[in-house]
Each structure stands twice: as structure tokens, then as C-alpha cells.
A and B are shown apart, each in its own frame.
Chain A
């Protein structure tokens, strides 16, 4: 399966599952799973925009969240899954009234987030790459990385409503 999407809404402890477009829904959990192909980037970004817009984020915030998710998926495909199309990138959007928490899981070997080069170091300014994670950290309110118990890395990022878009 190239892309799997699932939205779950919890009502008084009763869970229900629906599939398909998310516009108009207010689910607690939305899961998206893709093969490691860059052709899915626009789709994932559009899904993200629909979710955040539906939550009531302003246009600028939705834009920057969409960019952050796009960058995180690029990172997961390229540096996590090493461009292996058989490996999945799994996204989970956890929706709360005041925030969205987004988990992006890959199935790679993992990396040391602290070891990433400083994108603002004058020696790195003219390098063509190395700005993706920096952009995510700039536009989201919380960003952290975890090694998953079964292998792979998880990027967790949070955007809170009515927070400034840049640090």
C-alpha cells in the first residue's frame, strides 16, 4: 500500500475509525503512512494544511507547520530510511484544542540530532543543504528526537495556537 490514512475520533471513551478526507472532522488522532517516496511530499503537506486549518490555526501558522512536516518527511526519507522506498514514514497528528503534536517516525538506523551541523555557522551558510531541521526548530514550538524501541527515529514537534511563528 502506498499510502494509508486513518482518522480516529474519541467520544466518551468510545472510539470510531473513519477513512478518507479529514476536512470538517475534528479527530483526536490522524495517522498517515507513506512509502519513502518524495512524490508524497505535496500530499502530506496538503493533509497537514487541512488539519491545521480545520483546527483554527491562522494561515501563517498553517503554512509553517506544513513546511515543517514537509522537511521532517524529507529528513525521514533521506537520512532515516536512506531512500529505501520499501521503508515507511509514519505520521501521527495528535489534535488538542490548543495545539497539534505531530510525530514523524522512520525505519532507519537513527542519528544523533545533537551532532547536526549549525546551519547558522558562517562556515555553513553557503552549503546547499543542512537547513531542514533548523527550519523545523525555528517554526515549531517544541521539537525533539527519540530513538524508537523497535529501531528508527521519531521526530516529535508541537505547535501551540497563538504563539509567534519564529523563535
Chain B
């Protein structure tokens, strides 16, 4: 999985590309989010538009990232869920936990 970082106003957007599965990709996501939080960048938007596959470990990492941000006074939201990622988050009831957006402008505005 590739992770590209960009900043929009005070929001950090992580564009994720590839599979979020047990192993290197979940570790990469964990490290990226931890690094942001350590630097005080606590408003994070994960763009999942190019995530082709996610397993339960990947879902767990999204939850861990969300919890880490929340516990430090930050917010982590999700952008552009693919149909299959949305279905996995739906059956696990995590759509009731995460704020999700299809439109990036609206997602960025929601942090204000």
C-alpha cells in the first residue's frame, strides 16, 4: 500500500492506495497516523478511494487509528469508501463509529 500525505488548511489528508491487510500495510498506516499525532497534527482524513481490498486486520487498524486520534483530542474521518470497504464497515457496524464522506470539500469543511 502507498500512502501520500497532503495538507488542506489544518487537515492532513492521507491518500491510501492498495490493500490494507495484515502486515506491512497496517504497520505503515499505524506509523503514519502515530507520526502525525506526535507532531500535533490531530485532524486526519483518510482517503480510501483507491483501496482495493481490506481485511479484518485493516479494519482493526482503522479503528486503532480512530481511537488514537480521539484519545489525543483529534479527529479521524474517512473519505471515498469503495463499495466493498463500505460493506465491510457496514456489517461490522463501524459506519456508526466513523464519519464518512464522498466529497472531499465537505469532509474538510466538517472539521471546522
Q: Mark A92-121, 1 if CB is under 8 A from B, else 0.
A: 000000000000000000000000000110
A60 to B84, CA, bound (A): 9
Which of B8-16, B33-41, B55-63 binds A? B55-63
In the complex, the answer to whether B92 meets A131 with C-beta atoms within 8 Å is yes
Give the residue of B22, B61, B92 whose beta carbon is less than 8 angstroms from that of A135.
Answer: B92
Does any Cβ of B come within 8 Å of A126's Cβ?
yes
Q: Give the contacting residue for A128; candidates B60, B87, B91, B93; CB below 8 A.
A: B60
User: With A119-B92, A166-B87, A166-B91 as given contacts, are A132 and B67 in contact (CB-CB < 8 Å)?
Assistant: no
Chain A residue numbers with a CB within 8 Å of B66 are: 126
Judging by beta carbons under 8 Å apart, are B60 and A129 in contact? yes
Q: Which of A38, A131, A134, A165 contacts B22 (CB 8 A)?
A: A38
Is A2's beta carbon under 8 Å from chain B?
no
Give min CB distance, B20 to chain A, whole Å. 12
Chain A contacts for B53, CB-based, 8 A: 67
- Would you call A71 an interface residue if the criterion is a C-beta within 8 Å of the partner chain's C-beta atoms? yes
Classify the interface of chain A: helix, strand, loop or mixed: helix
Q: Which of A38-74 contact B (CB under 8 A)?
A: 38, 41, 60, 63, 67, 70-71, 74
Chain A CB within 8 A of B21 CB: yes
Chain A interface, number of residues (Cβ within 8 angstroms) = 22
- For this complex, 29 residue pairs linking A to B, each with C-beta atoms less than 8 Å apart, are A38-B22, A38-B23, A41-B23, A63-B84, A67-B53, A70-B55, A71-B56, A74-B22, A74-B55, A74-B57, A125-B63, A125-B92, A125-B93, A125-B94, A125-B96, A126-B66, A126-B67, A126-B97, A127-B63, A128-B60, A128-B64, A128-B67, A129-B56, A131-B56, A131-B60, A135-B56, A135-B88, A135-B91, A166-B87
